[in-house]
Amino acid sequence: MKVLVIGASGFLGTALCDELRRRGCEVVGTARMRPDLARLDVGDPAAVTRVLESVDPDTVVNLAASGVTAANAKVVDLERTNVVGARNVAVAVSQLARSPWYIHAASSTEVHHAPPGVASESAYSRTKRSGTAGAGSILRGAGVPHSIARIHNTYGPGQPTGRLVRDAIDTLGRHERVVLRHPDRVRDFCFVDDVVRHVADIVERKHTALSYEIGSGAGTTIREVVAAIARAVGAPAHLVVPSGSHGDDSHGYCVADRDLPGFLLCQTSLADGLKATVAQAPSPALSR
């Protein structure tokens, strides 16, 4: 099976390509700026079409996203990748002479958990939701076989800076304070190996469900996660400091729904996942 992974240079993309190759797939990965991968800017519709026609894949997995970390959170980039790019890929896939199996990776934050009238959690959430909705409409209208895989907060070895777990490990590893703006916000944390196995399973199964939700189904507060990280790196508990002004949180709960038909369980416990992540973290987390 030939699989095209769009966004192959990212945290999930790199791990997914490795897993698919272990399973015997022929994998072609794309990225905007990495010389060892096929270059692709999903915001350029002509470029998307050229790559898809050239590769002629059996399956396409679109992991491309901007705004996952603060380093790539410019609104213009979010719109170009998360909205325009998602639609460009869906259009190009729908126009191929031979339709591949298409998997679109969605974010858990796209789901609107806040009360009616409350804005999206972030520009990332807003643009991902718009892109997923647009791509889904195009794919359904063209009759392209596809699945939407909604992925909850993924962490693990190799995670880039700008994400909660990695930044907390780095900061607490230096025995510096971590100030929590939303300490009681509840999220679903998933170890990267579990997530990657599930996405690879979706690639192999094909056509079994329109929608998947990948998570543990167990909510953990931000305070509890960072406190567990402090224990894992041997930092004093008093370095985890709730902000004095966090107040009410309109986006306080986002956990995978175990009752959904497409629910896929991430089984690694938070304690075990953090232990593995800290063990492979760069200094200074390993220096103490």
Q: What is the CATH number of the domain that holds 222?
A: 3.90.25.10
Same domain, 131 and 234: no
Same domain, 119 and 54: yes
Residue 81 has pLDDT above 50, yes or no: yes
Residue 28 has pLDDT above 90, yes or no: yes
Q: Which of 151, 179, 209 marks a domain boundary?
A: 151
Compute the distance between CA of residue 147 and CA of residue 61 in angstroms, rounded to an integer.
10
Q: Which of 151, 175, 210 marks a domain boundary?
A: 151
Position 111 scores a pLDDT of: 67
Residue 285 has pLDDT above 60, yes or no: no
Residue 286 has pLDDT above 70, yes or no: no
- Residue 286 CB partners (closer than 8 Å, separation 6+): 173, 278, 279
CATH number at residue 42: 3.40.50.720
Is 195 part of any domain? no
Q: How confident is the model at residue 288 (pLDDT cuts 50, 70, 90)?
A: very low
Q: Please provide the average confidence, as pLDDT, over all residues in the chain.
A: 90
CA 13, 278, 188, 69 torsion-angle sign = negative
Q: Show the tokens assigned to 135.
A: 């791509």
Residue 229: C-alpha distances to residues 37, 44, 284 (Å)? 34, 41, 14
Compute the distance between CA of residue 179 and CA of residue 286 in angstroms, rounded to an integer.
21
Same domain, 173 and 135: no
Residue 266 has pLDDT above 60, yes or no: yes
Residue 286 neighbours by CB distance under 10 Å = 13
Same domain, 112 and 228: no
Residue 112 has pLDDT above 60, yes or no: no
For 166-179, what is the mean pLDDT? Answer: 95
Least confident of 1-5, 73-77, 95-99, 146-150: 73-77
Is 204 part of any domain? no
Residue 238: C-alpha distances to residues 12, 171, 173, 271 (Å)? 33, 13, 14, 20
Least confident of 57-61, 64-68, 105-109, 248-252: 248-252
Position 89 scores a pLDDT of: 97
Residues spanned by the domain of 77: 2-151
Is 32 part of any domain? yes
How many structural domains comprise the chain?
Answer: 2
* % residues pLDDT > 70 (the chain): 90
